[in-house]
């Protein structure tokens, strides 16, 4: 396992954050990060760049499992808003995560690394079904793991799937890679005075409804002492920094 370099350790303590070296992490990627600058779907350059960074993580000896969202293809909540049955909309969202997972698997494999997609829904022709002990073995063998289809249940988000899988594989942390470089006091896109938190407690994040993750996902992490790091995965290099334990983004944990 790599250790953070001297400078990063110093930065971490300067920012009041503990050094955060991880052996096994659960990376949650929102589907939107695959869009790059496009308005919909998967941008080839973006997914190839992400795959390259994921492989760097794998090569550094960190065990990496990924849960990917599907919002770049279909958002269950938008379906519901337009009158669709919630469960049907959620299943479509799960299929969207499956498409993203296959695309990510393909991008990683084309760059020569080993990866396995495991699905919470039984689509055996496309991916292995989820078996916890098998998933852990894949990680132990150094394969990147992509969990597709969320939890396999409607009414649960892919954030909740990320928290659940993190617990199940006994990850050291959930890293939530988004388009924003952390958690802010208010929406930085609308409020220029918004400030980024460097650290937060779960209780604070839940009470202030800071939108780190939905309440189910957050409660699961809180109750099982699973820290969450929210960081900007669209900026090249940030993923490796977050995974190496450098102080990027916002760290959410119990005090």
- Residues contributing to the site for ligand GTP (CB under 6 A): 116, 124-129, 141
Please identify, using beta-carbon distances, which residue of 45 and 114 lies nearer to ligand GTP. Answer: 114
User: Least distance (Å) from ligand GTP to the CB of residue 141?
Assistant: 6
Q: Provide φ and ψ at 238, rounded to 5°.
A: -65, -35
Please identify, using beta-carbon distances, which residue of 136 and 206 lies nearer to ligand GTP. Answer: 136
Residue 172 known to bind ligand: no
Contact by Cβ (8 Å): 33, 43: no
Residue 136 tokens, joined: 């852990």
Residue 61 known to bind ligand: no
User: Least distance (Å) from ligand GTP to the CB of residue 243?
Assistant: 24
User: Least distance (Å) from ligand GTP to the CB of residue 115?
Assistant: 9
Residue 83 known to bind ligand: no
Please identify, using beta-carbon distances, which residue of 105 and 178 lies nearer to ligand GTP. Answer: 105
User: Least distance (Å) from ligand GTP to the CB of residue 51?
Assistant: 16
C-alpha dihedral, 212 to 139 to 50 to 75, nearest 10°? -50
Please identify, using beta-carbon distances, which residue of 133 and 190 lies nearer to ligand GTP. Answer: 133
Residue 22 known to bind ligand: no
Residue 178 known to bind ligand: yes
List the binding residues.
28-31, 70-71, 75, 90, 151-158, 178, 184, 187
């Amino acid at each position: 396992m790599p250790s953070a370099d001297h400078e990063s350790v110093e930065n971490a303590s300067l920012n009041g954050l503990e050094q955060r070296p991880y052996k096994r992490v659960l990376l949650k990627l929102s589907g939107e990060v695959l869009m790059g600058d496009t308005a919909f779907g998967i941008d080839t350059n973006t997914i190839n760049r992400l795959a390259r960074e994921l492989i760097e993580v794998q090569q550094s000896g960190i065990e990496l499992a990924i849960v990917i969202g599907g919002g770049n293809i279909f958002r269950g909540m938008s379906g519901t808003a337009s009158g669709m049955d919630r469960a049907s909309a959620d299943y479509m969202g799960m299929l969207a995560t499956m498409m993203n997972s296959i695309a990510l698997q393909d991008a990683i494999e084309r760059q020569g690394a080993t990866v396995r997609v495991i699905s919470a829904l039984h689509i055996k022709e496309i991916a292995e079904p989820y078996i916890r002990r098998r998933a852990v073995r894949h990680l132990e063998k150094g394969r990147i793991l992509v969990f597709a289809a969320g939890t396999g249940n409607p009414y649960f988000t892919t954030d909740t799937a990320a928290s659940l899988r993190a617990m199940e594989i006994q990850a050291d942390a959930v890293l939530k890679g988004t388009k924003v470089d952390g958690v802010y006091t208010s929406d930085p896109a609308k409020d220029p005075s918004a400030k980024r938190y460097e650290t937060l407690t779960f209780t604070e994040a839940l009470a202030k409804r800071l939108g780190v993750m939905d309440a189910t996902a957050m409660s699961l992490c809180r109750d099982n002492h699973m820290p969450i790091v929210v960081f900007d995965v669209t900026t090249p290099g940030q993923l490796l920094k977050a995974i190496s334990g450098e102080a990027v983004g916002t760290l959410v944990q119990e005090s």
